[in-house]
Amino acid sequence: MLACAGGIIGTAFSFAMVQGLIAVLPEDMAGHWLAVRPDGAVLGFSLLLVAITTLLFGVLPSLHAARLDPMTALKDQSATTSASGSQARWRQALVAAQLAVSLALLIGAGLFAKTLLNLLAHDPGFRPERLLTFSLDPQLSGYSLERGRALYRDVERRLAAMPGVESRAMGRFSPLSNSEAATNVTVEGFRPREDEDSDSDTNVIGAGFFQTLGTPLLAGREFTAADREGAAKVVIVNQAFAKHFLGRSGAIGKRMKVGGGSSDPLNLQIIGVVKDADNLSLRETVKPMYYLPVEQTYGNDKVIRSVCFFVRSQVDLATLERGVRKTVREIDPNLPVFGVRSMVERVNESVYTDRLSAILATAFGALAMLLAAVGLYGVVAYSVARRTVEIGIRLALGALPGQVVGLVMKEVMLLVAVGVVIGLPVAYALTRLMNSQLYGVEAGSAGIFGASVAIIAVLAALAGWIPAARASTIDPKRALRYE
Quick: pLDDT tens for 136-167: 999 888 888 889 889 999 999 999 999 999 99
Three-state DSSP at 168 gives: strand
Q: What pLDDT is stored for residue 190 in this prediction?
A: 87
What value does the mean pLDDT take over residues 407-419?
Answer: 89
pLDDT at 479 over 80: no
Q: What pLDDT is stored for residue 179 in this prediction?
A: 80
pLDDT at 248 over 90: no
pLDDT at 35 over 80: no
The pLDDT > 70 percentage for the chain reads: 92
Q: What is each CA distance from 165 to 258, 325, 409, 433, in whole angstroms?
A: 35, 15, 66, 48
Q: Which range is least confidently modeled, 120-124, 243-247, 261-265, 344-348? A: 261-265
Three-state DSSP at 124 gives: coil
Q: What pLDDT is stored for residue 79 in this prediction?
A: 41
What value does the mean pLDDT take over residues 258-284?
Answer: 87
Q: What pLDDT is stored for residue 165 in this prediction?
A: 93
Residue scoring higher pLDDT (208 or 386): 208
Instruction: Give 246's DSSP letter.
Output: I
What value does the mean pLDDT take over residues 77-87?
Answer: 51
What value does the mean pLDDT take over residues 10-36?
Answer: 68
What value does the mean pLDDT take over residues 223-240?
Answer: 92
Instruction: Produce one character per residue of 38-71: b if its CB has 16 or more CB atoms within 10 Å, e if not.
Output: eeeeeeeeeeeebeeeeeeeeeeeeeeeeeeeee
Farthest CA pair distance, the chain: 107
pLDDT at 33 over 60: no
C-alpha angle with apex 115: 110 to 117, nearest 5 degrees? Answer: 95
pLDDT at 81 over 50: no
The 10s digit of each residue's pLDDT in 362-385 is: 888 888 888 888 888 888 888 888
The 10s digit of each residue's pLDDT in 40-68 is: 787 788 788 888 888 887 777 787 778 77
Instruction: Give 71's DSSP letter.
Output: H
What value does the mean pLDDT take over residues 127-142?
Answer: 92
The 10s digit of each residue's pLDDT in 92-113 is: 888 889 899 999 999 999 999 9
Rounded distance between C-alpha atoms, residue 322 and residue 393, angstroms: 80
Q: What is each CA distance from 158 to 56, 154, 295, 323, in whole angstroms?
A: 71, 6, 18, 10
Q: What is each CA distance from 468 to 116, 124, 139, 175, 385, in whole angstroms?
A: 39, 53, 76, 58, 11
pLDDT at 39 over 70: yes
Q: What pLDDT is stored for residue 273 in this prediction?
A: 95
pTM: 0.76
Exposed (0-12), middle (13-18) or buried (19+): which is 232, by Cβ within 10 Å?
exposed
Rounded distance between C-alpha atoms, residue 93 and residue 236, angstroms: 65
What value does the mean pLDDT take over residues 115-121?
Answer: 89
Residue scoring higher pLDDT (244 or 19): 244
Rounded distance between C-alpha atoms, residue 55 and residue 295, angstroms: 73
DSSP 358-393: HHHHHHHHHHHHHHHHHHHHHHHHHHHHHTHHHHHH
Q: What pLDDT is stored for residue 37 in this prediction?
A: 67
Please list, in sequence order, all residues whose beta carbon lies within 8 angstroms of the beta carbon of residue 221, skipping any fewer than 6 positions away: 271, 272
Q: What pLDDT is stored for residue 24 in this prediction?
A: 67
Q: What is each CA distance from 45 to 41, 48, 160, in whole angstroms?
A: 6, 5, 57
Are residues 363 and 83 in contact, defined by beta-carbon separation less than 8 angstroms?
A: no
